[in-house]
A and B are shown apart, each in its own frame.
Chain A
């Protein structure tokens, strides 16, 4: 078993050694520091977040998405053809994102996250996975006056994000993860989704993962689990029904087992974590399980997020002893 996170990590928190990103953004907006200064603060915070994850004992980490305002705009603002509109609620959470608007034909004009990946890899004690927004979810959360159908937007974005994934793999990323929570809210779109996913991973030389949280895979379990990725990550906290849908889990894939609640401060016990791993291990061998929180950790204050990672690592170690 390995331990990892799904994506983002709280940007600020008490006890942080790095300068406050929140204060730096305020100073930048007031014109008191330069864009380079702000960039330097984000770099310091990224280093601290990488160190936090390593200290908690994770096997695979992310850069914490410290520079991202929300899951979409960091990509959308660098994909040609997108403008950004007003704030919209992010799924059923009390957080928001700026809606991307495809005003023109969408196009990849150069790497979006490759420099961030390189920086994280150089400053991390642990392997760093790259996380890229999924084309279906990005299209679903955008509006697209330039296009005639969702399918056209999804397929264009699949080509664009495929180029991003290839660039990340070429830069040395061992694993590129795509986040696709929206498909679990629109299950009828699975045929379109499958086609987009094939295009998305085409020629990507690294391992690949798809993570879909905030929903269960009932009704499309077999199809979803056979999508062309090395890792399939699911949310077992909001959707414990997923435990009973792993019967067809393919022997050549790994399961991303999201069992630590990333949306509530209540700290899981070691026994609870062991029990959840045991349930999944009825269908998937322990050596093919990556344990993680249920989604990105930015819904939590930083101290709670860190405490949960420490507990998760303890729970996995205990499960390794008890269940092996």
Chain B
């Protein structure tokens, strides 16, 4: 893919009502996991078709089969138990993984879902992994003597999954690390772990790091860790912080081998941003990054939006990119 201003999504799309209701039924023992699985395939096919209709360049499977991005992986790996309920905010509760033994990967985690999604389309579909630092940060640890030992073991397990995705044919592999910049003193560890995940891969690798940009805004050493993460493309949350992160990149040149995925719509608002507003956002990105290094996409996954909102935002991104490419003479 060349030319630039290609369009993609971050990962999740809203789950249809029938998935949400069926998940509840399964948890109450009123529906079999096999029945739910068939519905998840149906919902995945629905989103692949919608993304083709939108004319999106790089697709995602929409994560119809995941509850939480960390718990999903821990349940498929060796060495994890699951905790009782803890509260995240308001009346929202979730269960955290607990490392109770050596963490490892004994079988495929995401490969069959990726294969299924890719079988539905000729366009590329991203393989979607959760990064080792985020898995560790969002888990309890009853086994490892240090966070470092825990992170590095998880990194090796996630690497094996990335290799399996690549063998299955994935050309794009995204490793999400929303927790990576939460603690300044562990960002080097997070980066090192990501390097273990991506080591030796030929696939185009992407990482999504959300929020806490102020952690690395305060020091050039920390910013350099983010700017040089061992992946091909950095997926940035931009709109949510009013493009503040662009200023960090403005004064430095991006490494010549790096790509940027720029957030151009907010993932947490109901409003579908008008095409002109999105074009303005992309233009701001183009002040800092060359067009052929730039992808455009929503800030984050869209799973908390209604389907109409998610589709509206995605369609306007595609339209904005198409119009700008025409204006700028990009193929």
Contacts and interface: CB of A to CB of B under 8 A. Distances in A.
Interface of A: 10-14, 22, 25-26, 29, 69-70, 86-87, 89, 92, 94-98, 264-266, 298-304
Given A13-B84, A69-B90, A304-B84, A92 B183 contact: yes
Given A92-B182, A301-B83, A26 B91 contact: yes
Contacts of A22: 91, 93
Contact of A303 (B84, B87, B211): B84
B72 interface: no
Contacts of A69: 89-90
A12 B98 contact: no
B88 interface: yes
Interface string B111-155: 000000000000000000000000001101110000000000000
Interface of B: 83-91, 93, 98, 137-138, 140-142, 179, 182-183, 211-212, 268
A298 B84 CA distance: 12
Contacts, number: 57
Nearest to A299: B86
Contacts of A265: 83, 98, 140, 142
Contacts of B179: 94
A218 to B, nearest CB: 14
A118 B186 CA distance: 44
Contacts of A12: 85, 87, 93
B85 A301 contact: yes
9 contacts: A10-B86, A22-B91, A22-B93, A92-B182, A94-B179, A95-B87, A95-B88, A264-B140, A301-B84
Given A13-B84, A95-B87, A302-B84, 15 more contacts: A14-B84, A89-B212, A95-B89, A96-B89, A98-B89, A264-B140, A264-B141, A265-B98, A265-B142, A266-B140, A300-B86, A301-B84, A301-B86, A303-B84, A304-B83
Contacts of B212: 89
A298 B87 CA distance: 7
Nearest to B268: A86
B86 A298 contact: yes
List the 4 closest A-B pairs by CB distance, nearest first.
A301-B84, A96-B89, A266-B142, A265-B140
A11 B84 CA distance: 12
Nearest to A86: B268
Contacts of A29: 91
B89 A87 contact: yes
Given A265-B83, A303-B84, A94 B141 contact: no
B304 to A, nearest CB: 12
A89 B93 contact: no
A13 B140 CA distance: 18
B87 A10 contact: yes
B143 to A, nearest CB: 8
Nearest to B134: A94
A89 B182 contact: yes
Contact of B141 (A11, A13, A86, A266): A266
A12 B140 CA distance: 19
Contacts of A98: 89
Given A12-B93, A22-B93, A92-B182, A264 B142 contact: yes
A235 B91 CA distance: 27
B260 to A, nearest CB: 24
A237 to B, nearest CB: 13
A284 B89 CA distance: 37
Contact of B88 (A14, A94, A302, A304): A94
Contacts of B87: 10-12, 95, 298
A25 B91 CA distance: 7
B183 A97 contact: no
Contacts of B183: 92
B240 to A, nearest CB: 10
Contacts of B89: 69-70, 87, 95-98
A14 B93 CA distance: 13
A298 B85 CA distance: 10
